[in-house]
Chain A
Amino acid sequence: MSRRALTLWFIEGVVGFVFMVGGAALLSLWIGSWTWLPAWLTDRPWLVPVAVAVVLLPPVIIEPPLRFAVHRWELSADVVYARSGWLSREWVFVPVSRIQTVDKAQGWFERALGLATVEIRTASYAGSSTIKGLDYAVAARLAEDLSHRAQQLRDDAT
Chain B
Amino acid sequence: MVFAVIRWVTFTYTIAGDRLELTRAFVSRSVRTIPLERIRGVDVSTPALHRLLGLAVLKLDTGAGGDKQEGELNGVTVEEAERLRAVLLARRGGAVVTSEASVSAGESVGSEPVEEHYYVRVPRSWLRYGPLSGAYLLTPFALVAGAIGLLFQWGDEFGISGRDAWAVGEWLWDRPQYLIIGVAVLVLAMPFVGGVMYAIFNWDFTLRSRDGYLVAERGLINRRVVSLERRRIRGYELAESPLERAAKLVRMWAVVTGLGDSQTRGQLLPVSPKAAALAIATEAIGPFGTPSQSGTSGQSGTPGQSGIRSQSVAALRAHPAQARRRRLFRAIFPWLLVAAGAAVLGWGVVAMIGFVLALVGIPLGLDRYGSLGHGYDGTRLSVRSGSLRRTQAIVERRAVVGWTFKQTWFQRSAGLLTVIAGVGAGRGGYAALDTGERQGVEFAAEVTPEWLDQFVIRS
A residues adjacent to B (C-beta < 8 A): 76-77, 79, 81, 87-95, 98, 122-129, 157-158
Contacts and interface: CB of A to CB of B under 8 A. Distances in A.
Contacts of B429: 124-127
22 contacts: A77-B454, A88-B408, A89-B406, A89-B412, A93-B452, A95-B401, A95-B402, A123-B401, A123-B422, A124-B401, A124-B402, A124-B422, A125-B428, A126-B420, A126-B421, A126-B430, A127-B401, A127-B402, A127-B403, A129-B402, A157-B398, A158-B399
B407 A157 contact: no
Contact of A126 (B257, B398, B422, B452): B422
Nearest to A76: B454
B402 A126 contact: yes
B199 interface: no
Nearest to A120: B402
A91 B404 contact: yes
Nearest to B405: A91
Contact of B401 (A76, A89, A90, A98): A98
Interface in B435-458: 444, 448, 451-452, 454-455
A70 B24 CA distance: 56
Contacts of B455: 79, 81, 93
Contacts of B412: 89
Contacts of A76: 454
Contacts of A81: 455
B428 A126 contact: yes
A122 B451 contact: no
A92 B402 contact: yes
Interface residues of B, number: 30
Interface in B386-411: 398-409
A95 B403 CA distance: 9
A98 B398 CA distance: 10
B423 interface: yes
Contacts of B451: 79, 93, 95
CB-based closest 8 A-B pairs? A127-B402, A123-B424, A127-B422, A126-B429, A126-B422, A158-B424, A124-B422, A127-B401
B406 A88 contact: yes
B425 interface: yes
A88 B408 CA distance: 4
A128 B402 contact: yes
Nearest to A123: B424
Given A127-B422, A128-B422, 10 more contacts: A93-B403, A93-B451, A98-B402, A123-B424, A124-B402, A124-B423, A127-B401, A127-B402, A158-B257, A158-B399
B401 A158 contact: yes
A45 B402 CA distance: 50
B419 to A, nearest CB: 10
Contacts of A87: 408-409
B189 to A, nearest CB: 41
A87 B425 CA distance: 31
Highest count of chain A CB atoms <10 Å: which of B398, B401, B422: B401
Nearest to B455: A81
Contact of A79 (B399, B407, B420, B454): B454
B273 to A, nearest CB: 32
Nearest to A89: B407
Contacts of B424: 98, 122-124, 127, 158
A127 B429 CA distance: 8
A89 B452 CA distance: 18
Contacts of B454: 76-77, 79
A77 B448 CA distance: 13
Nearest to B420: A126
A157 B409 CA distance: 35
A125 B427 CA distance: 9
Nearest to B430: A126
A92 B403 contact: yes
A76 B401 CA distance: 17
B184 to A, nearest CB: 38
B423 to A, nearest CB: 5
B406 A125 contact: no
Contacts of A122: 401-402, 422, 424
Contacts of A123: 257, 401, 422-425
Nearest to A77: B454
Nearest to B426: A124
Contacts of A79: 451-452, 454-455
B399 A157 contact: yes
A90 B425 contact: no
A144 to B, nearest CB: 20
B449 to A, nearest CB: 11
A94 B424 CA distance: 13
Nearest to B441: A91
A123 B401 CA distance: 7
Contacts of A77: 454
B399 A127 contact: no
A64 B398 CA distance: 38
B49 to A, nearest CB: 38
Contacts of B423: 123-124, 126-127, 158
Contacts of B425: 123, 158
